[in-house]
Amino acid sequence: MQTIAVKSFHFSVNSSKTSSSKLKTHGQTGLNKSYKLVSYDALILGGRRAVVNTPVSAFQGLTDVIVIAKPVVELGKGILPVAGPWGVWAVLVICGAVGVWSERTRLGKELSGALVATLAGMVAVNVGMLPTNAPELKIVYKFILPLAIPLLLFSANLRRVISETGRLLPAFLLGSITTVLGSLAAYLIMPLGRFIGEDGWRVASALTARHIGGAVNYMAVTESLEVSPSIFGAGLAADDLILTLYFTAIYSLARALPPDSPPQQGSGVPPIASSSSTSSSSSTGCNESINTTSCHLPPQDAQLGVQYRSREPIQVESGLLALAFSVTICYLSYTISQAMGIAGQFITVTTAITVILATALPTALAPLAPSAQGMAQILMQIFYATIGASANVGLVISTAPVLFVFSFIALAGHLVLILGLGAALGFTRRDVLLASHANIGGPTTVAGMAAAKGWTSSIVPSILTATLGYALGTFTGMALGHICLKLIL
């Protein structure tokens, strides 16, 4: 593959089948950058059209060309630049670790480890520590993230969710409906398509999926709908900041609600053994490590509850078995999606297969869930760092305002609707707040909130309902996008 440099040209990244009319929509690239030609199917401005395999010499001396090309990977040229794949992996993992460590600080608890890892990755690439367009970033999206999805869903036993969550399950489903309504209202008020083009309805669908499930659902929808990488990162970064406002609001609304009364002595309900003697809490409730000596749960729920409330060690045997299951599920999902001609739905198929297996084989997968959850959190932190490292800061700054407004309206609409409808339907304020948090935050954060508030009887039901969000989020977001948002101009 030969390299050619021109003063300016329009390009389509890695898309040798894109027509010249579509190429024009990509706009000019920055000046003084080198690109490797992927195809010579290019339109040369000035009346001449190049054909496939046009010699590179035909482009020499031209100053405005439309080509199909990809940027040459540029090594970092700033503070402590790294070179080579190991340097890239070192920075990504360190950024993920910084995110987890930050939750020991007050500011880190406010922001969450995920957002800190994203910001750290963004800083690393923009000060020149990381190469731009490093191939390692694609490895994270292509392999690491899909591997984390089954690990997150090993406890997604739908039979148990239905039978053991009580009133929290219908409250959660109400929250999912109000999330969809909030997103629809936000898109009507702030039609993203008018600001960021075709990616508008797609990223709105992905954010809806995230607000029902989590970041994995956002990734699944953006992959299925082919959201551009720059908008993908901008949407997630903007939403992360709005989520900090949501968590602050949800904790403020829960402030006056009392904790559970402890069981009477001799009641026969045993306490969970404490995994940490240190008590801590945060406004977000993320990844809490709390004093559990006052927590009383049935024995069969102890392991699941502790799994989400503290960072338990990953057991070698169960960890390897969980990893083996996850890799196998990914292989089956890839094979099925390829055979059915829906390669873009790979993550969606992975989600569906894992939920089916977790429901059909609970005795096989549930014991692996604690170690699986620990490994999934590690992989997700690397994923969050990669999001930051992939973000185009200029584009984030230019598109973030409209994405901020969209996320704010969507979450505000969800919260107002679930509070109003929940009260009208007879749900308690506690169940409504937990259901909302299970939708927007996910299993880890809602478990942290339940534990921090002393709602020990709600810890496991909250985890189960939030896990259901992972199963529903992708399909709900996709349906909303294709049925409604796509049609709104």
Q: What pLDDT is attached to residue 77?
A: 52
The token pair that represents 88 in the structure block? 């890239």
Please say whether the beta carbons of 233 and 390 come within 8 A: yes
A 10 A CB-CB count for 285 gives 26
The confidence score (pLDDT) of residue 306 equals 45
Cα torsion angle, 350, 143, 287, 222, sign: negative
* Whether residue 146 sits in one domain with residue 65: no
CB-CB contact of 63 with 7 (8 Å): yes
Query: Is-contact 118 98, C-beta < 8 A?
Result: no
Model-wide pTM > 0.85:
no
Show which of 71, 94, 128 is a domain's final residue: 71
On whether the CB atoms of residues 383 and 183 are closer than 8 A, the answer is no
Indicate whether 84 belongs to any domain.
no
**Is residue 291 included in any domain, yes or no?**
no
CA angle 248, 430, 309 (to 5 degrees): 65
Chain segment 166-212, per-residue pLDDT in tens: 889 999 999 999 999 999 999 999 988 888 888 899 999 999 999 99
Q: Is residue 172 part of a domain?
A: yes
- For the chain, give the mean pLDDT: 75
Domain residues for 46? 3-71
| 155 and 42 co-located in one domain | no
Residue 15 domain flag: yes
* pLDDT tens over the chain, length 489 residues: 333 433 334 433 333 333 333 333 233 333 334 444 444 334 333 333 343 344 555 555 554 444 444 444 444 455 556 667 888 999 999 999 999 898 888 888 777 788 888 889 888 887 878 876 788 888 998 899 889 889 988 888 888 888 878 889 999 999 999 999 999 999 999 988 888 888 899 999 999 999 999 888 998 899 888 888 778 878 887 888 888 889 889 988 998 898 877 645 444 444 433 333 333 333 333 333 333 333 444 444 444 544 444 455 678 899 999 999 999 999 999 999 889 887 777 887 888 899 899 899 988 988 898 899 889 889 989 988 988 887 766 666 777 789 999 999 999 999 999 999 999 999 999 999 999 999 998 887 888 788 778 888 888 888 888 888 988 999 999 999 999 888 886
Are both 237 and 367 inside the same structural domain?
yes
Is position 62 within any domain?
yes
- Predicted confidence at residue 110, as pLDDT, reads 72
Are 358 and 471 part of one and the same domain? yes
- Residue 230 pLDDT: 74
pLDDT tens sequence across 214-266: 888 998 899 888 888 778 878 887 888 888 889 889 988 998 898 877 645 44
| Residue 419: predicted pLDDT | 96
Quick one: 141 and 39 in the same domain? no
Same domain, 172 and 50: no
Same domain, 352 and 425: yes
The predicted pLDDT at position 262 comes to 62
Closest CA to 39 of 22, 25, 19: 19
In a domain, 51, yes or no: yes
Distance CA 389, CA 405 (A): 24
Domain-embedded: residue 398: yes
36 shares its domain with 179:
no
Residues 6+ apart with CB under 8 A from 489: 191, 193, 194
Let me know whether 26 and 160 are in one domain.
no
pLDDT attached to residue 409: 96
Q: Examine the domain organization and report whether 67 and 140 are in the same domain.
A: no
Per-residue confidence (pLDDT) for residue 81, from 0 to 100: 64
The domain total for the chain is 2
Residue at 215 is within a domain: yes
Give the per-residue pLDDT at 122. Answer: 84
- Regarding beta strands 35-44 and 64-71, do their DSSP bridges make them parallel or antiparallel, or are they unpaired? antiparallel
* Tokens found for residue 81: 């630049």
Are both 206 and 325 inside the same structural domain?
Answer: yes
What does the pLDDT read at residue 295? Answer: 41
Q: What is the pLDDT of residues 254-296, one digit of tens each?
A: 988 988 776 454 444 444 333 333 333 333 333 333 333 334 4
Which residue, 40, 71, 102, sits at the end of a domain? Answer: 71
Among 84, 405, 90, residue whose Cα is nearest residue 239: 405
Q: Are residues 192 and 322 in the same domain?
A: yes
Final residue belonging to a domain, choices 24, 56, 71: 71
